[in-house]
């Protein structure tokens, strides 16, 4: 496993695989940051994308397998 492999983040992999658009990723990151600033519990990008209906559980699992 290379360092560049480890540096890839969930969102960028999901975009590269065509599961989500860059715009959807930016939207999810914005939600994540806003919730963190407001003191809410930290949520993962995948959870936010799934809640919005942008990505399926199977797609999330595929991205996570890629990250290993």
Check residue 18 and give its pLDDT. 97
Confidence check: pLDDT of 2 > 70: no
Q: Give the domain ranges of the chain.
A: 3-67
Check residue 6 and give its pLDDT. 47
Look at the block and give the residue holding tokens 């930290």: 42
Which runs of consecutive H residues, i.e. helices, occur in 8-56? 10-16, 22-37, 45-51
CA 37 to CA 54: how far, in whole Å?
A: 23
pLDDT digits (tens, 9 = 90+) for 23-57: 999 999 999 999 999 999 999 999 999 999 999 99
Confidence check: pLDDT of 3 > 50: no
CA 55 to CA 40: how far, in whole Å?
A: 22
Are the C-beta atoms of residues 31 and 37 closer than 8 Å to each other? Answer: no
Check residue 21 and give its pLDDT. 96
pLDDT category at 7 given cuts 50, 70, 90 is low
Using only the alpha carbons of the chain, give its radius of gyration: 12
């Amino acid at each position: 496993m290379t360092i560049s492999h480890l540096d890839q983040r969930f969102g960028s992999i999901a975009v590269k695989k065509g599961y989500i658009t860059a715009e959807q990723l930016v939207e999810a990151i914005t939600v994540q940051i806003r919730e963190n600033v407001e003191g809410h519990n930290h949520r993962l990008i995948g959870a936010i994308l799934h809640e919005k209906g942008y990505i399926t559980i199977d797609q999330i699992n595929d991205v996570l397998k890629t990250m290993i």
